[in-house]
Amino acid sequence: MAKVGLFFTRVRDWVINFIQKYWFWIALVGIVALAVVIRIPLMTKKSGDYYNFLKPWYESLVEDPKAFLASDDADYTPTYMYFLAFLSIFKLDVEGNAFNFAIKYISMGFELGSAILIFFILKFILKKHDSITLLGVFLALFLPQVFLNSAFWGQCDAIYAFFIVLSLFFVLKGKSCWASVAFGFSFAFKLQSIFFLPVLVFLWFKKRFKLYWLLLVPVIYVICMIPAMACGRSFHSCINVYFEQTEEYPYLVMNAPSVYAFMYKSIVTNESVIEHLVPAATYFGVALIFVLLVFLFLTYKDVTLEDIIKVTFLVTLFAPYVLPSMHERYFYIAEIIAILYVAVCPKKWYISFLAVAGTFQGYNNYLFNTYYLNNENLNLLIGSSLIMVSLILLMYDVFKGRTVGFPKKETKTN
């Protein structure tokens, strides 16, 4: 019995030593495993977008992939259609869950990719991997908007967001070329990637980014269109996708808790008002983003890695908030960057919390039809108010202790 007791004591000590030595990696594997488990029961959901868009697109690709890629029947860029075209090889069942699961696996794979990038970004900024980097990975996989977007809804925002996070990673490392390449692939998937562009412009002014590398963005976009053009789609049709998207939903608010939620209900049914108001609101939003950039330029002399995270969070949250015709999903980049902000500024966690709680109200409306006090606009009003408070607090954090003034020219001394 003494030998048996000694054996179990040694096993216990070995297990304890193993956990103490590799606790970080054990926790990391546990987080990923739990993230997979939590998504499994959500994946059987088929949204209206599945039946109205994804399913008919896939059926057309199965029937004649070349003809569909040559057409402009889908309002997405051909870049995403290539994924569906690849899946069409296997002729997956669209009535069951085979195709439904396949498109969600793709998005979930890019979610995991973003979580890995967040790990490396935090390791690069904090110069170590510890509980804070674990927190970043955890939040990247367990943020409700993230797993609802892919596993439940079947959307593909995780793809373009992955390339934005990759672009940010290269920006932090001072690799402008690769940052532009990643940004180019993001732009080839979704127009919403443009919310990251002001960050790159700001960093160019601060000599942290070489702007001429952005010439790679249209090059990469055109390269991504080559397979579709080889199938017969015109060059004009390929480059016109985003212009058509902006005209497809000419409404002031598309279920997003933006600043226009405060006037959304009173004018949403008045087409004559919207026709004039949406263009004006677009110009107004762009002007506000420009003003924000000017203030950033005039107040920042030196830019640290932490400053880049703060500015990126501010810009990507501010842009969809002040622009019209925004969907609830257009805050996706800001929601991901909010995770980095929490890790870099843990004492100001409440700013990210308010922002994410605000953006979630759009999901409440669309996915769950959950209306506070049976008022569908009240969700957006609450969400917009929360985001407004978070923006005010975030601006205070970004600009506090800084004075407005033009940077002095460096003078050479003999």
Query: What pLDDT, in 10s, does the model give residues 374-401?
Result: 677 788 899 999 999 999 999 999 999 8
Please tell me the predicted confidence (pLDDT) of residue 293. Answer: 95
Cβ neighbours of residue 1 under 8 Å, at least 6 residues apart? Answer: none
Question: Mean pLDDT throughout 208-235?
Answer: 95
The pLDDT of residue 275 is above 70:
yes
For residue 99, give both structure tokens.
């195709």
Lowest mean pLDDT among 1-5, 161-165, 188-192: 1-5
pLDDT at 265 over 70: no
Contact 314, 321 (CB under 8 A): no
Q: What is the CA radius of gyration of the chain?
A: 23
Higher pLDDT, 37 or 413: 37
Tens of pLDDT, residue by residue over 60-113, are 999 999 999 999 888 899 999 999 999 999 999 999 999 999 999 999 999 999
Query: Measuring CA to CA, how many Å separate 273 from each of 258, 269, 381?
Result: 18, 9, 21
Q: Are strands 326-327 and 253-254 parallel, antiparallel or unpaired?
A: parallel
Mean pLDDT of 156-163: 97
State the Cα–Cα distance between residues 235 and 229, nearest whole angstrom: 7
CB 49 within 8 A of CB 155: yes
278-282 long-range contacts (CB < 8 A, ≥24 apart) are 278/250, 278/251, 278/252, 278/324, 278/325, 281/252, 281/323, 281/324, 282/323, 282/324, 282/325
Tokens 């069951």, located at residue: 96
| Residue (of 114, 128, 110, 126) closest to 172 by Cα position | 126
- Rounded to whole angstroms, the Cα distance separating 148 from 145 reads 5
At residue 414, the pLDDT reads 41
* pTM, 2 dp: 0.92
